[in-house]
Amino acid sequence: MTHPIELIIDEPAPGSFVWRLLETDTDGAHPTVLRCAFDPVESYELALASGQRALRSEMRAQATTEGH
């Protein structure tokens, strides 16, 4: 069974955006960082686009793992 994954965009400093993928346990609690941005980007939109690519990649990887 896969766990829910959430894409979060944070702005740790003004004009500096980073994404994180959080995965929860089977009860939907205790989120842990699954993947995160290496470097911040200058806009929310860029962080969102990069985070969405990472989320799709993670979903493909999990689908492949579950298929075997």
Longest dimension (CA), the chain: 44
What is the Cα–Cα distance from 46 to 42, expressed in whole angstroms? 7
Q: Which structural domain range is residue 55 located in?
A: 5-67
- Tally of domains in the chain: 1
The verdict on pTM exceeding 0.85 is: no
Length of the chain, in residues: 68
For 29, phi and psi rounded to 5 degrees?
Answer: -125, 175
- Tell me which DSSP letter residue 27 carries: T
What are 26-67's pLDDT values in tens digits? 776 788 999 999 999 999 999 999 999 999 999 888 888 776
Which whole-number Å values give the CA distances from 63 to 2, 12, 27, 48, 59, in the listed order? 9, 32, 21, 22, 6
Tokens of 15: 């004009």
